[in-house]
Amino acid sequence: MQKIFDCFLSLGPKIQDLIICGETNYTSHVNSSGDTQLALDVQSDLMIERELSNLACVYALFSEEQEKVRIIHKEGEYSVAYDPIDGSSLLDSNLSVGTIFGIYAKDFEGKNLVASGYILYGPRLEIVIAQKDEVGVRHLRFDPKKQEWREQERLFLAQKGKINASGGTQKYWSNQHQKMILSLFQNGYRLRYSGGMVPDLHQILVKGGGLFSYPATQDAPQGKLRKLFEVFPFALIFECAGGEAIDGKSRLLDLGIQTSHESCPCFFGSKEEIGLVREMDGGK
Ligand code: AHM
Ligand code: MG
């Protein structure tokens, strides 16, 4: 598995170069999630596919930009799902974006997720990696002068935070969800939402707590975020950091999967905020 981590560590500066130097134009293609692809989405997808395909331990690959799962090496041990540039609609406004990845023991299922992580392309280049059954998540920063990654202190969540990042079209939120979000603000939480899952969840991790929600809404009854390359990877990261990740009621990593691009409502946070979501049935 270390070989897969090394692959993402070496891809970080390469994808960052692509983002800095590349064009932010759209292609004429629409991906399986219905989003028009940017040239950068396609280029970064190919770059990741090329590097991961060289690893004999990789059984299958799946990405936001591909329709189907691809079998790479029949004898491989791990399958990798990834979102090459999550939040790519933020590229024109020059906000932070990220690459998300989940490493599964063979089949793509929540219970098989053994490690996950994300690369954050912000003013600094950073990577966060979680491994099942490990306490805390690894946090590394790239030193561009020395061209090397530097390990930082592990990230942990406190019992409770101060940040509220709430996604989805607000006019389509359920009354129950609106009440829950309002109660957070009434209890002093501050709104922090860029519209990029990676920087929004990274901020909660680095500041030690808070809540990120992307609920079921009238216009998106299954939420927006996809299980294999967005929801499950962040669920493992939040659990390893001492927080929780649920769909409103159930643990996200216990959910099954019917189709590879399936989405679900999701709530990631520290223990106290997730307790509130459960109490108020915030996913309904
Ligand atoms: P993308 O994979 O097409 O970029 O979409 C995922 C992004 C997440 O990063 C973010 O949390 C969410 O979409 C924001 O959606 P919204 O604009 O509906 O709040
Ligand atoms: Mg995405």
Q: What is the DSSP string of 192-245?
A: ---S-HHHHHHHHHHTT-EEEEE---SS-TT-SSBIIIIIHHHHHHHHHTT-EE
Mean pLDDT, to the nearest integer, of 129-148? Answer: 97
| DSSP letter assigned to residue 32 | T
Q: Evaluate if residue 284 carries a pLDDT over 70.
A: no
Domains and CATH numbers, the chain: 2-151 (3.30.540.10), 163-280 (3.40.190.80)
Q: What residue's CA is closest to ligand 1, atom 18?
A: 168
Q: What are 251-280's pLDDT values in tens digits? A: 999 999 999 999 999 999 999 999 999 998
Q: Which residues surround ligand 2, an ion (CB under 5 A)?
A: 83, 86
Q: Which atom of ligand 1 is nearest to the CA of 225?
A: 6
Q: What is the pLDDT of residues 145-200, one digit of tens each?
A: 999 999 999 999 999 999 999 999 999 999 999 999 999 999 999 999 999 999 99
Which residue's alpha carbon is nearest to atom 4 within ligand 1?
A: 87
Helix (H) or strand (E) holding 118, with range, is: strand 113-121
Ligand 1 closest atom vs CA 97: 9
Environment class of 223 (CB within 10 Å of its CB; exposed 0-12, middle 13-18, buried 19+): buried
Q: Is the CB of 86 under 6 A from ligand 1?
A: yes
- What pLDDT score does 169 carry? 94
| Residue for token pair 């959910």 | 255
Crossing angle for the helix pair 232-240 and 197-206, to the nearest 10 degrees: 10
Report whether 105 contacts 86 (CB < 8 A).
no
DSSP 56: T
Say if residue 178 is exposed, middle or buried (CB neighbours under 10 Å; 0-12, 13-18, 19+): middle
198 C-alpha to center of ligand 2: Å? 9
Nearest CA to ligand 1 atom 14: 195
Confidence of residue 283 (pLDDT cuts 50, 70, 90): low
Whether the CB of 196 sits within 6 Å of ligand 1 = yes
Contact status, residue 155 vs residue 139, Cβ threshold 8 Å: yes
What's the CA gap between 246 and 244, in Å, rounded?
A: 7
User: Which stretches of 54-173 are DSSP H helices?
Assistant: none
Q: What is the CA angle 274-83-229, rounded to 5?
A: 45
| Residue 71 to residue 136: CA distance in whole angstroms | 32
Atom 2 (ligand 1) nearest CA:
86
Residue 101 DSSP one-character state: E
Mean pLDDT across the stretch 131-142?
97
To test the ligand 1 pocket, which listed residue (86, 120, 164) has its Cβ within 8 A of the most ligand atoms?
A: 86
At 41, the pLDDT band (50, 70, 90 cuts) reads confident
Compute the distance from residue 224 Cα to the ligand 1 centre, in Å: 7
Report which bound ligand comes closest to the CA of 30: 1
